[in-house]
Structure 1
Amino acid sequence: MDNKYYLTEVDKVSKSIFCYHNPMDSILIEHHSHKKGQFLYTEGGVVHVKTDTRMYYLPARHYMWIPAGVRHSIYPSSPKVIMRNLYFPIKKSANEFYKKEGIYHINNLLMELLLYTKNWNGDIRKSQKNKYPIVNAFKTLLEQSVSNSLHLELPHPTDTKLIGITTYLSDKIDEEHLLPSLASKFSMTDKSLYRLFKKDLGMSFIKYYTQLRIFKSLEYLVNSDYNISQIANMVGYSSLPTFSNTFSKVMGKRPSEYRRSNEIYM
């Protein structure tokens, strides 16, 4: 099934569970939505998932739940990325888990069941006794084993000036930016820039900027041969221990651990 056209098949059979595993090959999957909820797991790199309000950074060995009806686009950080998807019909009375976007760690049991389906693509119906019980059990385990959502996303700014500022931060990610100098560059006071971040994005400048740097470093860790000290410099950290400690606070593991855990399950 072609990467570009499988999306038209997801909702054709309303009661089926749709399964799709494939390398991304750097293809942008443009803004779309489904009537089914989407389980999206990735290996081999970072996948960007953009909704109307946020940019999510889905790292390897994690999954994202995208509720039915949420418009989103998907693009990988590398052609090596493999995407594993299961699309489920969701009832209105379903668990709250299925109604909100989130990124989560995947446990071993879910991983084993997911890999069991790796050669399946297309609709899985109740009549398929050798397949349907597996994916239906997967859905049940999903809500029963869910942990706290990881905050691996950044909100989209709506203020015109702040759009320019956040674009500048992203473009100049290899430089260190302090609030006073950034405010001065954009002809603002420290206080007015601080308030703009809080008002428009609901977070402080330092939190936004820290997360932007760490999320960018994820791409370098999995898509390059740069050492960790080089990557720290590439996202504006002059101190390797500071980068490593900050990465650990955001991601729950050291950069070296994250890099080691990125192999692909075939």
Structure 2
Amino acid sequence: MYIESKLKEVDKALFEMDFSGLDRKSILSKEVSNYSDSGLKAAGKIQFTNGLLIIDTEFNNKKSLTNILEIKGEYIQVSYLKKRGADLILSGVKQAVGLGRIQCCYDLDTRSIIKLPANQPIHCQAIYLSKDYYLELLKNEAWIENNTFYKKVLQGDLQSWGACQFPINYNLYHILNEIAQANWDEDFKFFFIELRLKELFLSLHLCQQESLKGFPKDISEENREKIKKAHAYLIEHFKSPPTIKVLARKVLLNELQLKKDFKKMYGKTIRSFVIELRMEKAKSLLGKYTVSEMAGILGYKSIPHFINTFKKCYGYTPKQGLNQ
């Protein structure tokens, strides 16, 4: 598998990787060139081993740019675009890369053109696996025989970009961040990442199973997409969530409809969903920060309010949780 990412207007490669000959049992990493030319700001990190590339990049350009991404060989891609949107031109067809969705594909020898609009910060996380790496990684998982995507890969049935996508949820968001950041001891990083990759593909499988159940039929397709965008936006901004009024404006839906349809689709109010997200994050922070630091990280202005909310959710205070 060979991957090259190049910015056309400045004639600079963000990275260029050939995965042949790399040690399969170690994860290497390097910074993506931190460009700060006039009109361009691009920075990030890549991690890689034989058959695997993990990308975490951010763009903040003052003029429109074109990222040409060339991939040779059979590959599986899992990607998530944070912040604003971008346009992808693949095989001459323009597609919007919308927010709030994880994109998966299985393809061969592609050349993609990604249009990066000016003055719109973009943060992208992407994972590329060779076909051999993907099949070897998941072949012994108990659930894999029922996974449609895995069967397609096994049969060589290509699934182009856009054919397989999932709405982001907190679990997927958290796993992707952990894989992309990989703040782990170097001696164990490879094993940590492989465990998280298995968890990621299992979570995507569960999302696929959940999607088969469908959403309430009395919500129009247009409104369902708007509610999904609201759901994704809250996952990105739960530490400082918008008001219902602001959120309704962002997804172009009136406040009453937003609240009503959100509860129908997800079985909880927007407020309770935000609290749930904050508490899930709070549990992951236990032992790493003081109670007051946790409250600040999660956007609580009142420490007693944070402690009471935590206790109501888990049945014990953050301090008691440290001793369990």
TM-score (norm 1): 0.48
Greater relative contact order structure (CA < 8 Å, 6+ sep): 1
Q: Answer with 1 or 2: which has the greater Rg.
A: 2
TM-score (norm 2): 0.41
